[in-house]
């Protein structure tokens, strides 16, 4: 398969960034061991060894995927640093998976215990194929790490069973998973092995979803009847709280075929997984209609339904999307869900789209989602007495609202019944090297997308290109790029959207670049010695951010570089954030955190703004409504301090936090 831009294999990049090295080390030494411990104590790690007679309980239908994702994440870190504990978990898990495989290839703890005769009877809800997708991704990672087929073999055998069972031919089921993921796994297998069976099956699942018969029904309707259910019964046990109405198949993006969809709908993680797989399929198959649909739905996501923090999915009930521009900030009332996995998936989709074309919007979204929602979902260090205490690296947010009220702050949790988020967080930050660089053999171009101090050794058809990046991001925006290539190669470097009007560039004499779609393109040349050194500066200064008027947000947010900031009660004692307005006429400033670090992260710039809170004395009589606002005055000017959103809820306090504040 040929790709426009292929990500650089993980082993070809060494990360040296103090910021990211601290995070990656913490992921390897604290986060993953804590996840593995939870897998073992809850029974997930061993559920595949259970039988109908020996099981202490029926496993959760999704348990196996937690193991597969953790195994995959461990492989990424082991490719960079050996760790005996992670290696032991990987080896143990692979052996359990091998021994759990049925003779025909099937692997699933839930149906092995609850009744193998019921397998593949509830694709909509039971997620066998979703879990197989994660097994495939783990198998690719394990093969890349070890060079063996110890896990790849079982995955391919299971895929062979699924390929016989599902498809358009007579005697096959025309079904597709309720939670997309197997499509990603199939495309990963296809890229590794070149097996057309994987490409064809992925294409079937992607394009069959949402097709209707002469009765205007889809596969899930027929499947429900076969189980004895009624897909039209609003009170049926078949339906759960996350459906708005019977046959609400937009939840699974199955309300219509992909090529007909104009607006992103449904469960946000499923939608992003679907588009990621479809993007990969379009690249491999050359299907331009599929790619056009992916781009259309991506635009619907990031231009009308994405939070300023890179979060998506504004409704808790469906863990998903609602109307365009409806982006409430607080989780009270079932809003501002912004699931961690959804931002993880959005970042991955953005990286996949960069394989088709270099477009700054894709890199900007990847950067925003990773730095703010995904990174902030995990406790980075020890915390205060209320939030984050002792949770450094081992506690997580499932939801990521942009506002919490005093007395209603929410601490991160060390585990969840549905534990999809923790392994995904570990996975994505183990892949920084692949997210940062890519290359095109066709255009002989090396590209830099995500700025991390690191050294990347790209292997192009003409030889090796070495890219060495030195940067202080996210705190300071200077970037030094040293390129070594004894043959002519072109460069493409992303200019972050937040610096597109203020960046500076200097290169070797006679080297001038052109900017197209947010990338600085430098023509092909031999890069050696001082003639291979480039310098860029992306000024990291405080800036105000405003929302599209259709969101109804008449507030202001603050950002600096790639980081969105928030105000917390712990930094602003006595200041009611809910009624505080920032002065647009006052300059913004910054100062280094007094303790030189915030929640274990050193060198954090704290933003300083000026604001006023409403004087509430006009309501001293206790009335809830009245003309008090006309009589009330703004209080005295106060200093408002703000920290990066990803560091929120780590230092105690009353739990108050806001990204958007009123403005005057």
Query: Do the beta carbons of residue 116 and residue 47 sit within 8 Å?
Result: no
- The pLDDT score that the predictor gives to residue 230 is 87
Q: Kindly report, residue by residue over 124-156, the tens digit of the pLDDT.
A: 999 999 999 999 999 999 999 999 999 999 999
Please give the distance of CA 29 from its chain centroid, rounded to a whole number: 22
DSSP 115-127: -GGGTTS-HHHH-
In a domain? residue 307: no
Query: Do the beta carbons of residue 482 and residue 455 sit within 8 Å?
Result: no
Average pLDDT, the chain: 94
In a domain? residue 359: no
Q: Give yes or no: residues 486 and 578 share one domain.
A: no
Of 136, 420, 421, 456, which one is the catalytic site residue? Answer: 420
User: Pairing state of beta strands 542-545 and 454-460?
Assistant: unpaired
Q: Give yes or no: residues 189 and 62 share one domain.
A: yes
* Count of beta carbons in the 10 Å neighbourhood of residue 202: 26
**223 labelled catalytic:** no
Q: Give yes or no: residues 601 and 549 share one domain.
A: yes
Residue 616 pLDDT level (bands cut at 50, 70, 90) = confident
Q: Give yes or no: residues 498 and 609 share one domain.
A: no
Q: Give yes or no: residues 55 and 167 share one domain.
A: yes
Domain membership of residue 196 as a residue range: 42-234
Secondary structure letter of residue 619 according to DSSP: G
Distance between CA atoms of 418 and 413, rounded to whole angstroms?
12
- Among residues 372, 361, 371, 347, which one has the least CA distance to residue 495? 361
**289 labelled catalytic:** no
- The pLDDT score that the predictor gives to residue 474 is 98
- The pLDDT score that the predictor gives to residue 114 is 94
Instruction: Single out the residue in 514, 537, 560 at which a domain terminates.
Output: 537
Q: Kindly report, residue by residue over 354-396, the tens digit of the pLDDT.
A: 999 999 999 999 999 999 999 999 998 533 333 344 568 999 9
- The pLDDT score that the predictor gives to residue 235 is 54
Residue 218 CB partners (closer than 8 Å, separation 6+) = 210, 211, 212, 249, 254
In a domain? residue 193: yes
Distance between CA atoms of 542 and 589, rounded to whole angstroms?
7
In a domain? residue 301: no
- Expressed in angstroms, the distance from the first to the final Cα of the chain is 56
Instruction: Single out the residue in 191, 215, 234 at which a domain terminates.
Output: 234
C-alpha distances (whole Å) from 175 to each of 120, 172, 204 are: 9, 9, 9
* pTM of the model as a whole: 0.96
In a domain? residue 470: yes
Q: Kindly report, residue by residue over 637-660, the tens digit of the pLDDT.
A: 999 999 999 999 998 899 999 999
Q: Give yes or no: residues 494 and 546 share one domain.
A: no
In a domain? residue 322: no
- The pLDDT score that the predictor gives to residue 236 is 59
Q: Which residues of 403-425 are buried (b: 16+ CB within 10 A; e: fewer)?
A: bbbeeebebbebbeeebbbbbbb
Q: Give yes or no: residues 479 and 609 share one domain.
A: no
Instruction: Single out the residue in 207, 234, 261 at which a domain terminates.
Output: 234
Q: Give yes or no: residues 527 and 640 share one domain.
A: no
Count of domains forming the chain:
3
**Which two structure tokens, joined as six digits, stand for 469?**
């990046």
Distance between CA atoms of 294 and 296, rounded to whole angstroms?
5
Q: Give yes or no: residues 593 and 571 share one domain.
A: yes
The SS3 of residue 359 is: coil
Q: Give yes or no: residues 513 and 470 share one domain.
A: yes
Q: Kindly report, residue by residue over 173-207, the tens digit of the pLDDT.
A: 999 999 999 999 999 999 999 999 999 999 999 99
In a domain? residue 370: no
- Among residues 136, 220, 133, which one has the least CA distance to residue 175? 220
* Count of beta carbons in the 10 Å neighbourhood of residue 51: 10
Secondary structure letter of residue 335 according to DSSP: B
The CATH number of whichever domain residue 532 belongs to comes to 2.60.420
In a domain? residue 414: no
Q: Give yes or no: residues 602 and 478 share one domain.
A: no
Of 208, 223, 238, 319, which one is the catalytic site residue? Answer: 319
**Which two structure tokens, joined as six digits, stand for 79?**
């490719």
The pLDDT of 616-628, averaged and rounded, is 75
- The pLDDT score that the predictor gives to residue 58 is 86
Query: Do the beta carbons of residue 521 and residue 552 sit within 8 Å?
Result: no
Distance between CA atoms of 9 and 543, rounded to whole angstroms?
36
Q: Give yes or no: residues 216 and 161 share one domain.
A: yes
- Among residues 360, 153, 366, which one has the least CA distance to residue 276? 366
């Amino acid at each position: 398969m040929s790709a426009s831009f292929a990500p650089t294999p993980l082993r070809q990049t060494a990360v040296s960034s103090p910021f990211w090295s601290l995070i990656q080390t913490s992921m390897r030494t604290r986060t993953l061991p804590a996840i593995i411990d939870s897998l073992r104590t809850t029974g997930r790690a061993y559920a595949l060894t259970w039988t109908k007679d020996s099981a202490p309980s029926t496993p959760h239908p999704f348990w196996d995927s937690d193991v597969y994702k953790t195994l995959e994440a461990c492989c990424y870190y082991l490719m960079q640093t050996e760790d005996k504990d992670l290696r032991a978990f990987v080896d143990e898990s692979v052996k359990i998976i091998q021994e759990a495989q049925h003779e025909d290839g099937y692997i699933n703890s839930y149906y092995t215990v609850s009744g193998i005769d019921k397998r593949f009877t509830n694709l909509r809800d039971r997620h066998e194929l979703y879990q197989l997708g994660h097994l495939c991704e783990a198998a690719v990672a394990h093969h890349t790490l070890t060079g063996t087929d110890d896990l790849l073999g079982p995955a391919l055998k299971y895929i062979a069973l699924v390929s016989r069972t599902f498809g358009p031919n007579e005697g096959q089921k025309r079904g597709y998973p309720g939670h997309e993921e197997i499509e990603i796994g199939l495309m990963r297998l296809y890229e590794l092995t070149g097996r057309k069976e994987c490409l064809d099956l992925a294409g079937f699942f992607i394009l069959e979803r949402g097709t209707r018969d002469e009765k205007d029904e889809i596969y899930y309707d027929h499947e429900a009847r076969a189980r004895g259910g009624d897909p039209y019964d609003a009170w049926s046990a078949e339906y759960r709280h996350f459906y708005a109405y019977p046959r609400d198949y937009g939840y699974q993006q199955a309300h219509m075929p992909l090529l007909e969809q104009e607006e992103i709908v449904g469960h946000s993680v499923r939608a992003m997984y679907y588009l990621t797989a479809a993007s990969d399929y379009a690249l491999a198959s050359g299907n331009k209609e599929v790619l056009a649909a992916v781009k259309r739905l991506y635009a619907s996501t990031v231009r009308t339904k994405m939070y300023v923090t890179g979060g998506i999915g504004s409704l808790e009930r469906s863990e998903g999307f609602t109307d365009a521009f409806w982006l409430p900030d607080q989780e009270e009332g079932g809003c501002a869900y912004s699931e961690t996995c959804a931002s993880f998936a959005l970042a991955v989709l953005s990286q996949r789209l960069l394989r088709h074309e270099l477009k700054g919007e894709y890199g900007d979204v990847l950067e925003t989602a990773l730095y703010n929602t995904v990174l902030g979902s995990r406790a980075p260090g020890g915390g205060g007495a209320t939030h984050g205490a002792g949770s450094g690296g081992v506690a997580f947010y499932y939801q990521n609202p942009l506002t919490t009220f005093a007395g209603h702050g929410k601490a991160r949790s060390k585990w969840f019944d549905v534990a999809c988020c923790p392994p995904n967080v570990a996975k994505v930050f183990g892949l920084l090297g692949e997210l940062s660089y890519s290359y095109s053999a066709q255009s002989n171009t090396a590209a830099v997308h995500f700025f991390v101090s690191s050294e990347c050794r790209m292997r192009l058809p003409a030889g090796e290109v070495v890219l060495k990046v030195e940067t202080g991001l996210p705190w300071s925006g200077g970037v030094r790029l040293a390129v070594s290539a004894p043959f002519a190669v072109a460069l493409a470097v992303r200019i972050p959207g937040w610096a597109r009007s203020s960046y500076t560039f200097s290169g070797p004499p006679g080297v001038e670049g052109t900017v197209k779609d947010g990338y600085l393109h430098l023509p092909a040349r031999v890069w050696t010695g001082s003639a291979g050194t480039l310098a860029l500066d992306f000024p990291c200064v405080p800036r105000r951010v405003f929302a599209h008027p259709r969101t109804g947000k008449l507030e202001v947010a603050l950002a600096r570089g790639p980081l969105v900031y928030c105000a917390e009660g712990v930094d602003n004692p006595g200041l009611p954030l809910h009624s505080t307005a920032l002065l647009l006429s006052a300059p913004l400033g910054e100062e280094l955190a007094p303790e030189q670090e915030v929640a274990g992260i050193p060198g954090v710039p704290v933003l300083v703004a000026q604001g006023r809170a409403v004087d509430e004395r006009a309501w001293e009589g206790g009335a809830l409504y009245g003309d008090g606002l006309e009589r009330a005055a703004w209080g005295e000017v106060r200093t408002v301090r703000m920290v990066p959103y990803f560091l929120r809820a780590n230092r105690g306090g009353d739990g108050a936090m806001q990204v958007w504040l009123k403005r005057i």
